[in-house]
Structure 1
């Protein structure tokens, strides 16, 4: 029911009254919201201020010695003994007035262009970093000024946290209040780190260019300024391409901010980054290569300059192993052809990934190239377990017996692929293919697995690949790998498939007592069956394959050889003879240690190739190193429950179990993933009955021995017999193979024993041997004693001797009488006359004649 008003004026007044009530309610609600937000803001400000105050209260006090880099860091070996002190010998401190403006401008343009304008914090740069961190996550982009970088290098822990950033900003403000801009820049330029364990821009100028700061050219100044962001990544000695790009960025920034002209920048960009570099001359000590790795890890993980942070660094170094490797590479124990032939060695603990020693090269100076860590060379066939057979077992569950045909083949694009010996060996197991380093089976394995899965498997072992192609199957890399990377990858095979990134630092204690653990977390890179089966295959490489020279008696070693060749163009350019190689590798491991060895020349030029003797060096170095560190070790790799070992009949494809009749020389023992093992038994070799009723007889007249036997009539059409003969104690030899059931040996010699084995062969199957023997009697040249006894018994007992004499005389007279009558013995008489007993002593019928002789005489 609608309201009734007395007049329009009354209605208007009442409506105005209601509207005012609504406006009052709305205003009251807004006030409450504003009050709430104000309260929250105040509480937030108070809480924020309290938090900031708490963070600031925990900031370390300023220390001028730390700012100037006068607190060195101590390095301890695996046993806790101090072996080195970082930051005590490689700084050339230079005052700000002695630093040329061009050097200062290069660093300011690159690191902090508003350095002379801010009070330690660049709010404009900070705003950009905040946006980036919101979009990409905290720590995605930094806004540190030169002052903040100096503070961070000197005082603070490395974690990228809000607390550290607050403390960094607070200390930067304090530094700016206490020191002038020139003093801050001076301390910073004397603190920056360069590869080779050099500190300060002045020391770097000496080390890289052999110059003082005022002698540097613009391109050299830009290179020194650019290197600070990533010292090893932008090192012109190690990575000239990356270094050139970084130097040009610095030149672009100097031009952009008005420090140099465009013409000056363009001219400097045309200069080679390597042309003016000088070779390091200061000889390194035995720990140099290892300490360089320690510094790199500290800078990478903690973003701290160890030369001035007063750290206690607990490393993984085995000083005995390090000393041995240094002496091995630099001594006369091995045959290094000349001083240009180089080697890099990385030795790890297989179970922990801890670096026990690094052989950075032969006769390397301080700042020289580290061939164990920085080299990037094609791995050759050492990559086959990582890219080919490892993924095949992991993803396809191949056995170690899996058959691949080694026959003429091409890449997918039609390019032929050859084996190292340009030969083909037909069907073989992947064990044999790896042991003999066949290239064609390796490519086929990679193709079966697929490039993507092979790449994924390799990256799980620390081998990062920007790209992959079929040529990678045999080590045809574009980017290359280092011995340290290869050692890390192979150690996972020996560690049940667990990959732990190689590392030289276990933990660090900061100057304030804070301890930071740096050991990487273990990662399951593959199944335990893959690790064990690849390991067992690589044992074959060392036992009878291409790596026998690396074997050590008594040690259980698995490993792989690798060699890389020159291209046809390089062979012609460098006059490389047949068999000359570019790189030679051996990577291997025991349950306790893993070692990767690379050998090659520092550069390729005329006569800068490995001959066949040089190519042995990688295996020789590995053998000597692993023998030295493994004294008394007899441990072996343990077979996991996921693997079964079976007796397989050779030649079966797919694999079949050996039967009870399979000959021993046709059986091989191979490993299978449990659940994927064969169940069918080969019937190629079946039971064959052996011959029966062997009879051996001797024919004296023919001087021959005959052996006869019987066999079932139903098999006679399909059976043949192998007759094996042995005389006396000699070994059996095959005398003949025949379908007859008789065999005769002629010209037998009295006194010998003739032994026979008769083996029935039917459809390739062989029976057990049936055996018999005979001893040939020896013939004597006198009447047998038993015959004489029988003759005596025929004579009268009372005048045995007299009768015998009379008989002999009678026989003599009778013979003389007959000769007188006939004049001679004609043939007819000779035929009828009895034979002499002496000539026929072994014949029974002649014995009877002898018994009649006395009666005739009588």
Structure 2
């Protein structure tokens, strides 16, 4: 106590001498002494910078809605003109009533404080200008050493503040200093600045504060914790009344107004803005945006500086998130895979815009939180890779067959490329990227893909494993892998499929043996929808930095990676899966689209990837604890029980409902026509040109495949053979409204134009009809004597 009293007296003496030196003529010894002290004092550094204090940054969606606010300090800057007179008078009365009269050093106030302190009644001695200086130094500290120096209770710190205060009063107006002080001061309970304090305690702007409210806030500055009205309402009320009395004493209000104000109850309406991504309605997209800023060198020299910039600069971050798409997608994933399901399964989906890479939606069926032990809670973003807070990925299953199609078309193979695709086959001779020969690969189909001769159209429709294994062998395994990388696909752990010439390739690459992230798969499918343009995922459109007065505009980063005709060809083939008994049959959205189901061996994971000209998306469903250990078998989700979950069982409906909702109000656009260079097309839909190329092989019948649905087996086979086609009758019967044993459907569809001698696959009915909403599960592959990566479809 004695040390503090002596320091205060010393500062008061220095202040008095400074005033004497600056205001009085040099008379006698006193004048000489004062001038000497003042000269040394004025030689001290005085160039105190006063940058805007830390404030909240806000993330907005594409429509201007708030996604989240990010801050170290809850502060919103306000101009002095937007602060009520009552608030200004309250802070002046209790902190520095002579603020507009002195020059930064309130000598009489300092001496008065010294006398009262020596008498046992501790009183502060700092003017508002000095307090502002101290707060500026605290906020400017970039190390603990600088912070300790700004807060130290020493005479040297006090004298330094005095010097800065004198200089500040010479270059800033009183109103500017008061405005800065009101914006930087701490008003307890996490509220920095008078505007945030008004909103926090009374849910109103600072411009509307009344006397009793302003006095409550002003009273917090001296001891923010002690007078916190949330925890110490009695002390806060007593302090409020002290401020009101002081306002009356100095003449800001009358005694009658003071008495009336003190009669008001301390009625708080506490409201703290949610900070960060956890309370956001779009937490995973929010987290992605935060990581984009913290990891991108364009926003600062290192991650620490970038994180500080984000949380203190009051940024307006305008993102690509489309609220209509986000809402439709979140509703769909929550409906089909509820967040707190006992089986602990998760659905994750991401939607991007073809041709720009703008992320329009990012959602998953989990609450955002750090405790992975809580059912339905995770901080891992399963839509993205490990470099952006995501997982190490999941095997993509048959969605990768689109990559093989792209590689085949890139080599000039026609749509009519066909193979005898039996229920089981063995592929030999595939070579690794280092030139070595891989072991023989045995694989199988089941269900609707059993047997038959398939070309690219029917093989894609039926997701035939044996067809794509042979297609990959002809294209080249390494060439297929290179196409995947060309399309922006990589392992979700950040490594590429072919890191070096010694990397061993997997026979089953075309069946989706690699662990990837949905955001990369969505980007690859967007490449097909955009005519071959691969775009980097983009979450931010622009950042407005009001502290520096700059705006950072983010332009799409796109590159033409495959020929437009190749992309259009794949797009056409993927559009055929919605018809002809394809694996996406029943998942159409009422407008041109392309898509592909994907499931892994043993139904460990299930996928759906699809697109329209306006958006492309990928859906993953699985178990984060380990898909192989916790497969999608015998699970109950959303009140439904599933023996097995395939790409068309849950991921497909999620994609379908998302895209239906997201496209409401959008014009219908067609996919590109099937390029003529790839020859005759078969099957319809997708908005593509279904007319055969006039240079294509001659057909067996101008009317195409006869309609034999409903006929018995022998009659149907006879009619098809008479039309010039080979016939393959599936050994597995399918659910159908047709009578048992009669033809349920054929592939390709009736009316399809095929070359003479092409194979038509016939599926017989098991009777009993088709259940509403039954997408027809993708073929299951039985266990094979190969590694887990090679048992996918």
Pick the TM interval, shorter chain. 0.3 to 0.5
TM-score normalized by structure 1?
A: 0.44
Higher relative contact order (CA 8 A, sep 6+): 2
